[in-house]
Amino acid sequence: MARLCGYANGGGGLIPAEAQFLRRAASRLSVVDPPEAQNAVAEWVNREGGRTVRGGLWRGETLMKTLANPRMAGLDSDGRPIENFGETVLTPKEYRALLAARSEIRGEPTERRDAYDYLLTKGLSDCDECGYDLSGGRVHSEAAPGYRCLPPTEHRASCGKIRMDAARLEGGVAEEVLADILRPGQHDALLRLQQDARDEADRLRAHIESSGDRFAALKAMRQQMLLSAYKAAEKATKDDLAAARTRLRFLEQIAGVPLADVHDVVSWWNSAPRASQRALIMLSVTKVHVLASGGGRGHDPHGRIRIDWRTSAV
């Protein structure tokens, strides 16, 4: 049986070069709004030097069929995680998004979902009033995506006072980030940060590749350990490996941002996958603070944004 592109064998074993173009292809097929056509993505992969397992050129249908294989996310035919599969080309979330996009292309019914990919969640933006991280969501199913500070609860010290339309907030932040890149000295600062990210990625790859030795050493000590201590150590090792893979995925996005020419970055932004746009923002920005809409700032998104720049510390 021919091996699955992206993997060295049927039980896992990632081939980084293949995994990278497959991940980027999956983003173009499912994350970009609207998603790109299958044949267009296949042509892009071919131009980038990506090839099939047999060394041939990709066709749109073949590329989508390959990415739709559940093993791309380390899953079996029933959608359950395969035990000890190892690092995967796609995360389960990315795989589900790809399947949903394929169903839409075929005209098949899909589950109703909030398909909006928020650019500034996960700690990247906060409420300037209380400092609590903003959440993405819709007021109701037909409303536009937006950001808000959640109402306070007994266990959450948020204020619930800040709301802002996602398009206005993200558009304003994107304009400021791209303008900052064009400022004298900032380009060099970003290049240094990107190199730091690449160096860290290299260290993480080595750490991930040596995980088998750590698990083997732990297993060799099994007879000398209490069962509870062994289970705790095994869990900690697995958690460390999962965290390293997640961090590596983010660093690979940063490493892929085309920073060689600042003007190329501006043109690249408009067609870049959301994950890559987020990586550029996180490379430039520590935190986006969203201010209240009073004081005449309501119609100007820039008047409601205060940014802590990562490049200012370089």
In 3D, which of 11, 14, 10 has the Cα closest to residue 245? 14
What pLDDT sits at residue 166? 94
Choose the weakest-confidence range: 32-46, 103-117, 247-261, 293-307. 103-117
Paired strand residues for 147 = 136, 164
In 3D, which of 116, 146, 117 has the Cα closest to residue 134? 146
Per-residue confidence band for 108, with pLDDT thresholds at 50, 70 and 90: very low
Residue 158 is which amino acid? Answer: S
Choose the weakest-confidence range: 51-65, 84-98, 121-135, 293-307. 293-307
Q: What are 38-75's pLDDT values in tens digits?
A: 888 999 999 989 999 989 999 999 999 999 999 999 88
Peptide bond into 81 cis (omega under 30): no
CA distance linking residue 309 with residue 287, whole number of Å:
7
CA distance linking residue 63 with residue 36, whole number of Å:
13
| Average pLDDT for 72-86 | 83
| Average pLDDT for 103-120 | 61
Phi–psi pair at 92, nearest 5 degrees: -55, -35
CA distance linking residue 206 with residue 210, whole number of Å:
6
Say if CB 73 and CB 26 are below 8 A apart: no
CA distance linking residue 305 with residue 293, whole number of Å:
10
| Average pLDDT for 184-207 | 87
Say if CB 169 and CB 161 are below 8 A apart: no
Spacing of C-alpha 23 from chain mean position: 10
Q: Scanning the structure block, which residue is given the tokens 């499912």?
A: 30
Say if CB 265 and CB 181 are below 8 A apart: yes
For the entire predicted model, the pTM comes to: 0.54
Q: Interhelix angle for 274-284 vs 262-269, to 10°?
A: 140
Per-residue confidence band for 35, with pLDDT thresholds at 50, 70 and 90: low
What pLDDT sits at residue 312? 66
| Average pLDDT for 290-308 | 80
10 exposure class (CB count in 10 Å sphere: 0-12, 13-18, 19+)? exposed
Q: Fill in the DSSP letter of residue 138.
A: -
Strands across the sheet containing 135-137: 135-137, 146-148, 163-165
Q: What are 240-269's pLDDT values in tens digits?
A: 998 898 888 878 877 877 777 777 788 888
What pLDDT sits at residue 11? 55
pLDDT value at 110 more than 70:
no
Work out the number of other CB atoms within 10 angstroms of the CB of residue 232.
Answer: 12
